[in-house]
With several copies, the nearest count.
Chain A
Amino acid sequence: METPEQDAVTVPETLKVAGKDETLHAYREMLRIRRFEETAARAYTRGKISGFLHLYIGQEAIAVGTRMAIESGDRIVTTYRDHGFALAQGCEPNACMAEMFGKKPGLVGGVGGSMHFFDRARGMWGGYAIIGNHVPVAAGHAFASKYTGDGRVTLCVLGDGAVGIGPTHEGMTLAGLWDLPIVFIVENNRYSMGTPLERTLPVEDITLRAPGYGMACDRFTVSDPFQVRDRIGAAVKRAREENQPTLIEVLTYRFRGHSMSDPAKYRGKGELEAHRARDPMEMTGRALRDIHGMTEADLDALDEAIIAEMDGAEQFADEAPQPDPEHRFRNIIIETTEENA
């Protein structure tokens, strides 16, 4: 596994030029995702959350940076590793936590769990758990934008493990052929489950596929949320103004296992530490201290407030009622009426 060089461990340019408020905002958002997931992880080990739980810890800058690059009304379509984008889009931690607890006030009423976060009002369009099968669906959202002229951009997020599967190929083929307003963001965290890239990709550079789709592309290692905002922002602009799709490979790293059940024994020696050493969230915190003159105490206070928010979410989820038994029969078939016909 490529492990970053040590000199990477200095505050990146994009962070240096960012203002204090936006830096603080980005830091808070990333920290909220991390604390939310740490809380969820504990709840999982206590048996309060079940099923599969895939943590985003280490990748937060992508969701937060992307949020800063889009308008409200734009659509985020992602995988089962969806907490980061959900929170960055503004979903309520209470509703998200309750969803994972399988409770009635959950984001989708408790029927979906961790892998299926949907919050239409906040531009969170899922939450899909069959690898690659959301890619044509996302292309369909972009198709609808072009059809209706709603001016929306769709952002389709997938993992490095999803580029080899057919539905991804078909979705990208149609996006390229039909010039759809969409941005494909491949979160390359070096692994699909326990398998490193070398055993899943014929070539390391995923963007080599872009020319075959007639798509523009970009590729970079995440340093901080503003870098992500700027790089993805350019693609969003291209989509919105020119109806041109873009394939972006974002090199990132997850600090936890694939899911809670994965001890991640497959990592190389020192690999995790090297990536932690350039944790985009820590970088952002450092910028607040070194550049914007915030104190440890300031950051601790912020952290405590966020931890309290997430503890609150856990308590809310814990105390929330289960869905009523009849709920399992709802939202399957819609009755036909004059209105919806």
Chain B
Amino acid sequence: MAILQIREAIREAIREEMVRDERVFLMGEEVGHYEGAYKCSQGLLDQFGPKRIIDTPITETGFAGVGIGAAMCGLRPIIEFMTFNFSAVAFDQIINNAAKIHHMTGGQFSCPIVFRGPNAAAHMLGSTHSQAFDAFYAHIPGLKVVAVATPYDAKGLLKAAIRDPNPVIFFEAELMYSVRGEVPDEEYVLEIGKADIKRAGSDVTLLTWGQAVPTSLRAAELAAEPSDGKRPLSVEVIDMLTLRPLDYAAVLASVRKTNRAVVAYHGWPHGGVGAELSDHIQRHAFDWLDAPVLRVCYEDIPMSYAENLEHLTIPQPEQILAALRQVAYV
């Protein structure tokens, strides 16, 4: 097992798939000569050349559309958004072309493409550069949506996304690119659509993804070994990993065991994946629930630049702990 950073795991996934399949190429701003704004594509231009590692002008709609058009011809584009905040200017290409081409053409064309890049807040970038796009893309039929938080998941799921015959939105996180973790030396591919139990537990189910995964694991530790004398809680932390389609089976299996659930994530509260999960749980595990499902996410406000305000807006372990205890009546 090698220890890799998430950025390295992503790079290896791209490299291996590009070696394996001539049809795969990487396109985006600064992915080539600059080697990626977050260095995810370091060395790839040298290895594969400018034909397959393509620097673009600042034209998200343009190069998203080019990727879609190339995918319709049978290529396997990986489109990097420097951050998903910039996908807002390409929204139409994703909702109206990528997500619909296969359906709209009666199955004559397909759109095997990956849109990837960092999502949600980083550190002190202000309101336009700190947004989570989960709610927008997970809402759209025709897409698959993935969010990763470990090098192992990043590599295995990105390889799956690149091989997937459908359009896949692949969320990374700017502040997590340096996170290290074990990655097998031999090749592996993970299955899109499967959640992963990151920590087993029996008292409360904690559903999470993306940047909130480490925060949730920290909260689970705090719950297990309280420093404040409160009753310890055994928390089952489930990393959803795929936001569309959601692994409802894994969710319900855990909740029917713990009878309690909290959803913790980076994103605004009104609707979105968090609401979808709690709605699904109350509908399909109604008789198992001993407490309402709670959510811990961003406050319902644009992100402020100031460090103290940003910190207060983003879910912290303490808030997740409080929610865990509330559903467990501790």
User: A266 contacts B103, CB within 8 Å?
Assistant: no
For residues 84 through 128 of chain A, which have their beta carbon under 8 Å from a beta carbon of chain B? Answer: 102-103, 106-113, 115-116, 118-120, 125-128
Specify which chain A residues have a CB less than 8 angstroms from the CB of B72 in the assembled complex: 125, 137, 140-141, 144
User: A129 contacts B124, CB within 8 Å?
Assistant: no
Supposing A50-B124, A102-B124 touch, asked if A144 and B92 sit within 8 A by C-beta, the answer is no
Specify which chain B residues have a CB less than 8 angstroms from the CB of A112 in the assembled complex: 104-106, 126, 305
Q: How far is the CB of B158 from chain A (nearest CB, A)?
A: 14
Specify which chain B residues have a CB less than 8 angstroms from the CB of A141 in the assembled complex: 69-70, 72-73
**Distance, CA A190 to CA B104, complexed state (A):** 29
CB of A336 within 8 A of chain B? yes
**Distance, CA A130 to CA B89, complexed state (A):** 9
User: B62 contacts A333, CB within 8 Å?
Assistant: no
Segment of B53-61, B148-156, B269-277 in the binding face: B53-61
* Contact indicator per residue, chain A 174-203, by CB within 8 Å of chain B (1) or not (0): 100100000000000000111100011100
Segment of B25-33, B177-185, B220-228 in the binding face: B25-33
For residues 296 through 341 of chain A, which have their beta carbon under 8 Å from a beta carbon of chain B? Answer: 322-323, 325, 327-334, 336, 340-341
Out of B63, B64, B166, name the residue touching A334 (CB < 8 Å): B166
Supposing A112-B106, A161-B58 touch, asked if A266 and B33 sit within 8 A by C-beta, the answer is yes
* Contact indicator per residue, chain B 71-88, by CB within 8 Å of chain A (1) or not (0): 111110000000001101
User: B109 contacts A118, CB within 8 Å?
Assistant: yes
B307 to chain A: closest residue by CB: A102
* Contact indicator per residue, chain B 13-44, by CB within 8 Å of chain A (1) or not (0): 00000000000010001100110010000000
User: A336 contacts B309, CB within 8 Å?
Assistant: no
User: A336 contacts B106, CB within 8 Å?
Assistant: no
Out of A143, A199, A328, name the residue touching B313 (CB < 8 Å): A328
A259 to chain B: closest residue by CB: B37
Q: How far is the CB of B80 from chain A (nearest CB, A)?
A: 13
Supposing A51-B126, A111-B103, A325-B308 touch, asked if A147 and B61 sit within 8 A by C-beta, the answer is no
**Distance, CA A165 to CA B86, complexed state (A):** 12
Q: How far is the CB of B62 from chain A (nearest CB, A)?
A: 3
**Distance, CA A193 to CA B107, complexed state (A):** 31
* Contact indicator per residue, chain B 129-146, by CB within 8 Å of chain A (1) or not (0): 100000000000110100
User: A174 contacts B126, CB within 8 Å?
Assistant: no
Q: How far is the CB of A303 from chain B (nearest CB, A)?
A: 31
**Distance, CA A129 to CA B173, complexed state (A):** 19
User: A333 contacts B144, CB within 8 Å?
Assistant: yes
User: A195 contacts B306, CB within 8 Å?
Assistant: no
For residues 285 through 330 of chain B, which have their beta carbon under 8 Å from a beta carbon of chain A? Answer: 299, 301-302, 304-309, 312-313
**Distance, CA A253 to CA B30, complexed state (A):** 19
User: B58 contacts A192, CB within 8 Å?
Assistant: yes
Specify which chain B residues have a CB less than 8 angstroms from the CB of A128 in the assembled complex: 97
CB of B96 within 8 A of chain A? yes
CB of B247 within 8 A of chain A? no
* Contact indicator per residue, chain A 49-73, by CB within 8 Å of chain B (1) or not (0): 0111000000000000000000000
**Distance, CA A148 to CA B75, complexed state (A):** 9
User: B75 contacts A144, CB within 8 Å?
Assistant: yes
Out of B51, B106, B123, B312, name the residue touching A51 (CB < 8 Å): B123
**Distance, CA A18 to CA B65, complexed state (A):** 39
User: A323 contacts B166, CB within 8 Å?
Assistant: no
CB of B68 within 8 A of chain A? yes
User: B65 contacts A331, CB within 8 Å?
Assistant: no
**Distance, CA A131 to CA B58, complexed state (A):** 8
User: B59 contacts A340, CB within 8 Å?
Assistant: no
**Candidate in B51, B62, B73 with the most chain A CB atoms within 10 angstroms:** B62
A102-B309, A132-B58, A333-B142 given. 16 additional CB < 8 A pairs? A102-B307, A103-B306, A108-B106, A113-B124, A116-B105, A125-B109, A126-B105, A130-B88, A131-B86, A136-B62, A165-B61, A325-B308, A329-B301, A331-B103, A334-B166, A340-B110
Q: List 30 A-B contacts (CB under 8 A).
A: A50-B124, A51-B125, A51-B305, A52-B125, A102-B305, A106-B106, A106-B306, A108-B106, A111-B106, A116-B104, A116-B126, A118-B105, A136-B63, A137-B66, A140-B67, A143-B66, A144-B73, A164-B57, A165-B57, A165-B61, A167-B61, A167-B89, A167-B93, A170-B59, A195-B30, A201-B57, A331-B107, A332-B102, A332-B141, A336-B164
What residues of chain A have their CB less than 8 Å away from a CB belonging to chain B? 50-52, 102-103, 106-113, 115-116, 118-120, 125-133, 135-145, 147-148, 161-162, 164-167, 170-171, 173-174, 177, 192-195, 199-201, 266, 322-323, 325, 327-334, 336, 340-341
